[in-house]
């Protein structure tokens, strides 16, 4: 393609991207959206599809300036997709930990909480900074924080692959695989205000610094006292990761420690090998491990998590297998299946993981074109997966949620290894057919995997998990309900404990916990509601029953009345013991007087 045609092509791509962003901004969400995918106008997705299609082809087939423009176009488009809650003017997104994080951020802004009092203050501090500097609401500042922390992932995955291999083909594929956002699994890692997930997107920065430190041994790049600038980057990025979430920091310590162990064995076994010539990571392992220990061991929440993990490991009926069985049974009841859900959520990740595994194998057999130093980097990451996988197994037995968080970290490494492996597959295919033919096949295949990846970046009914979009009406309803409720009345919701909204609206005033409300709250008993016994649905006490549009969508449309029926909720309006006290388009609250009070 000549320069003029290339310029016109990229002009079209960037115009399509800009048009998509403008159209998304011009069509804000006006009510609760169960799916940001269906809520966003189709024309927006068509514009993004054009931009991504051109960027995939350029990243695979082009080189030099054109490949760089293609990567920039694709990365910007994916960032725009991740930014849709901001572009479409969501009040907030996230109804679990995210609401508590919102409360902590508000406490920091109000001076009720110092950042260092939290074990992971990174997200909250950045959100508070954006709020104070930009003059924007705290909720919007946190939504922007998601985007700010996400961008390094798109930048440093291809940079790391370039540093490892020096191959433009691998760099282009790495960019595309990073756009799939494989570390997000929507089981325990999420695209939202979720510190553990947000920390995953900083991990490639540390890996890039590690690879650059190992590869670049020239004294011309040294700081005073012979310090490598990449050592400084390792420490600074490690500290940033630590304050965003320590769990991902300990994984980095394991990674760096594994590299140090491999280097030690290489020096004992070989006299002529790139690993022997590379600078060691012994000091980095000690420094990063010490930082982690000092920061976390004295923290009560960290100690409690450790005790909980140990109890889970020693308890036979706790584990991820039991949780999978339970969810599989629930899916069957509503017409779904684990197999169907796996294909939707994990097929792209499974393919990339298999390619990564096979690529490591053929690298060790010496069947790739990698030079010895590039192969050593592959070995470092591959062997580090062994202890990281061991941690996953411990979590799998003891704390299922933590196991899927560990999978998120593992997929940061598999994104890098899988991308290099796919690039080698394309190279091999080009020798069987032709280079243009191989590029065409690769572009179609990667585009299909990219669609799979992007369609599950956010939760939606497609994966039986409706969007946790928080509207103005929901905030307003909870604010009125929590502030003006009568003494002695608890607040109950269907399938969801509303204490998180209390955190979001009133803060936690320094409490370091993701459990335990500052108001009396809970969940209404589904069996009692189904029987029409509204007065006995909450421990026989006087209570307020809260029903939001999110609750109805989740329980009636997505879960197909698995726990709560539409008929049982319709009876609220005619029961003499029930009074509707707050109502808007997204929120209803009923005052329910117990049977004892009726008597």
Cβ pair 497, 521 in contact under 8 A: yes
In terms of DSSP bridges, do strands 490-493 and 543-548 run parallel, antiparallel, or are they unpaired? parallel
User: Tokens 């010895």 belong to which residue?
Assistant: 372
User: Is residue 157 predicted with pLDDT exceeding 70?
Assistant: yes
pLDDT on residue 316: 46
Per-residue confidence at 300, pLDDT binned at 50, 70, 90? low
In terms of DSSP bridges, do strands 578-583 and 543-548 run parallel, antiparallel, or are they unpaired? unpaired
Cβ pair 102, 193 in contact under 8 A: yes
Please tell me what DSSP assigns to residue 408.
H
Q: What percent of the chain has pLDDT over 70?
A: 89
Mean pLDDT of 162-191: 96
Distance CA 359, CA 48 (A): 32
Phi/psi at 491 (5° precision): -115, 120
Mean pLDDT of 408-437: 96
Q: Hey, what are 557's tokens?
A: 């449309």
Q: Which of 368, 394, 395 is nearest to 379 (CA)?
A: 368
Distance CA 141, CA 54 (A): 32
- In sequence order, which residues have a C-beta less than 8 Å from that of residue 303 and are 6 or more positions away? 297
DSSP string of 203-245, one letter each residue: HHHHHHHHHHHHH---GGG--GGG--HHHHHHHHHHHHHHHH-
Distance CA 92, CA 420 (A): 37
Mean pLDDT of 341-358: 94
User: Is residue 597 predicted with pLDDT exceeding 60?
Assistant: no
| C-alpha triplet 407, 410, 413: angle, nearest 5° | 155
Q: Which of 391, 412, 387 is nearest to 402 (CA)?
A: 391
Q: Give just the sign of the alpha carbon dihedral 358, 362, 364, 368.
A: negative
pLDDT on residue 33: 96
Distance CA 68, CA 208 (A): 18
Compute the chain's Rg from CA coordinates.
26
Phi/psi at 589 (5° precision): -130, 130
Of 209-213, 263-267, 459-463, 521-525, the range with the lowest mean pLDDT is 521-525
pLDDT on residue 513: 46
Distance CA 574, CA 287 (A): 66
Mean pLDDT of 178-194: 95
Cβ pair 422, 173 in contact under 8 A: yes
Mean pLDDT of 399-405: 85
Q: Which of 546, 544, 547 is nearest to 535 (CA)?
A: 544
In terms of DSSP bridges, do strands 587-592 and 578-583 run parallel, antiparallel, or are they unpaired? antiparallel
Q: Which of 328, 334, 329 is nearest to 564 (CA)?
A: 334
pTM across the whole model: 0.93
Alpha helices (H) in 297-337, listed in sequence order: 300-314, 320-333
Cβ pair 587, 545 in contact under 8 A: no
- pLDDT tens digits for range 353-383: 999 999 999 999 999 989 999 999 999 999 9
- pLDDT tens digits for range 540-567: 889 999 999 999 999 999 988 888 888 8
Per-residue confidence at 181, pLDDT binned at 50, 70, 90? very high
Mean pLDDT of 13-19: 97
**CB burial of residue 430 (10 Å; 0-12, 13-18, 19+):** middle
Residue with more model confidence, 550 or 340:
550
Distance CA 182, CA 348 (A): 8
Q: Give the mean pLDDT of the chain.
A: 89
Q: Hey, what are 407's tokens?
A: 């999978």
User: Is residue 310 predicted with pLDDT exceeding 80?
Assistant: no
pLDDT on residue 514: 44
pLDDT on residue 518: 55
What b/e sequence results for 466-500 when a residue is b if at least 16 CB atoms lie within 10 Å of its CB, and e otherwise? bbbbbbbbbbebbbebbeebeeebbbbbbebbbbb
Phi/psi at 508 (5° precision): -115, -5
Q: Which helix (H) or strand (E) holds 581?
A: strand 578-583
- pLDDT tens digits for range 319-338: 455 555 555 556 667 666 78
Distance CA 397, CA 314 (A): 9
- pLDDT tens digits for range 128-156: 999 999 999 999 999 999 999 999 999 99
Give 432's strand partners. Answer: none
Q: Give just the sign of the alpha carbon dihedral 143, 50, 20, 10.
A: positive
Cβ pair 397, 191 in contact under 8 A: no
Q: At what angle do helices 229-244 and 282-296 cross, to 10 degrees?
A: 20
User: Is residue 404 predicted with pLDDT exceeding 50?
Assistant: yes
User: How many CA atoms lie within 13 Å of 356's alpha carbon, on the beta-carbon side?
Assistant: 25
DSSP string of 433-444, one letter each residue: S-HHHHHHHHHH
Q: Which helix (H) or strand (E) holds 548?
A: strand 543-548
Distance CA 568, CA 96 (A): 26
Q: Which helix (H) or strand (E) holds 590?
A: strand 587-592
Distance CA 297, CA 394 (A): 19
Q: Give just the sign of the alpha carbon dihedral 417, 422, 423, 429.
A: positive
Distance CA 313, CA 291 (A): 27
pLDDT on residue 141: 97
- pLDDT tens digits for range 413-427: 999 999 999 999 999
**CB burial of residue 454 (10 Å; 0-12, 13-18, 19+):** buried
Distance CA 515, CA 87 (A): 31
Cβ pair 399, 308 in contact under 8 A: yes
- In sequence order, which residues have a C-beta less than 8 Å from that of residue 428 and are 6 or more positions away? none
């Amino acid at each position: 393609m000549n320069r003029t045609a290339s310029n016109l092509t990229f002009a079209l791509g960037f115009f399509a991207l800009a048009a998509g962003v403008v159209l998304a901004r011009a069509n804000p969400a006006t009510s609760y959206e169960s799916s940001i995918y269906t809520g966003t106008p189709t024309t927006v997705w068509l514009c993004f599809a054009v931009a991504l299609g051109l960027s995939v082809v350029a990243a695979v087939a082009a080189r030099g300036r054109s490949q760089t423009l293609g990567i920039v176009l694709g990365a910007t488009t994916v960032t725009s997709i991740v930014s849709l809650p901001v572009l479409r003017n969501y009040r907030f997104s996230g109804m679990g930990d995210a609401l508590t994080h919102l409360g902590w951020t508000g406490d920091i802004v109000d001076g009720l909480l110092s950042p260092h009092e939290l074990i992971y203050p990174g997200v909250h501090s950045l959100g508070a900074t954006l709020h104070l500097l930009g003059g924007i609401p705290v909720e919007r500042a946190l939504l922007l924080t998601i985007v700010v922390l996400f961008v390094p992932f798109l930048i440093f995955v291809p940079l790391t692959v370039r540093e490892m291999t020096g191959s433009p083909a691998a760099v282009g594929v790495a960019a595309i695989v990073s756009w799939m956002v494989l570390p997000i699994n929507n089981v325990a890692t999420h695209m939202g205000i979720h510190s553990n997930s947000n920390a995953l997107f900083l991990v490639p920065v540390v890996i890039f610094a590690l690879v650059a430190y190992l590869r670049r041994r020239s004294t011309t790049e040294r700081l005073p006292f012979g310090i490598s600038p990449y050592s400084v980057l390792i420490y600074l990025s490690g500290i940033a990761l630590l304050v965003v979430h320590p769990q991902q920091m300990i994984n980095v310590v394991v990674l760096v420690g594994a590299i140090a162990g491999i280097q030690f064995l290489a020096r004992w076994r070989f006299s002529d090998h790139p690993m022997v010539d590379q600078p060691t990571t012994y000091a980095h392992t000690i420094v990063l491990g010490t930082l982690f220990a000092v920061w976390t061991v004295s923290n009560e929440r960290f100690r409690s998590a450790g005790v909980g993990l140990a109890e889970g490991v020693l308890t036979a009926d706790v584990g991820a297998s039991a949780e999978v069985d339970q969810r599989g049974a629930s899916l069957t009841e509503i017409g779904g299946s684990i197999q169907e859900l796996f294909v939707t959520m994990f097929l792209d990740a499974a393919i990339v993981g298999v390619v990564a595994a096979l690529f490591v194998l053929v690298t060790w057999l010496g069947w790739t074109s990698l030079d010895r130093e590039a192969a050593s980097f592959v070995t470092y990451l591959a062997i580090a997966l062994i202890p990281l996988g061991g941690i996953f197994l411990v979590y799998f037995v003891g704390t299922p949620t933590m196991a899927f968080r560990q999978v998120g970290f593992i997929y940061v490494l598999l994104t890098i290894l899988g991308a290099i492996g796919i690039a080698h597959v394309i190279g091999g295919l080009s020798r069987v057919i032709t280079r243009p033919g191989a590029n065409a096949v690769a572009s179609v295949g990667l585009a299909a995997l990219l669609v799979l990846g992007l369609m599950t970046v956010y939760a939606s009914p497609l994966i039986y998990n409706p969007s946790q979009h928080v509207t103005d009406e929901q905030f307003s309803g909870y604010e009125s309900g929590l502030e003006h409720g009568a003494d002695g009345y608890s607040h109950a919701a269907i399938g969801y404990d509303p204490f998180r909204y209390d955190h979001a609206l009133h803060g936690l005033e320094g409490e370091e916990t993701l459990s335990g409300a500052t108001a009396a709250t809970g969940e209404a008993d589904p069996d009692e509601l189904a029987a029409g016994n509204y007065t006995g649905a909450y421990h026989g006490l006087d209570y307020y029953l809260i029903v939001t549009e999110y609750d109805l969508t989740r329980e009636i449309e997505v879960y197909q009345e698995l726990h709560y029926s539409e008929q049982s909720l319709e009876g609220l309006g005619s029961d003499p013991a029930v009074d509707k006290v707050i109502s808007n388009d997204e929120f209803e609250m009923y005052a329910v007087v117990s049977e004892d009070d009726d008597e």
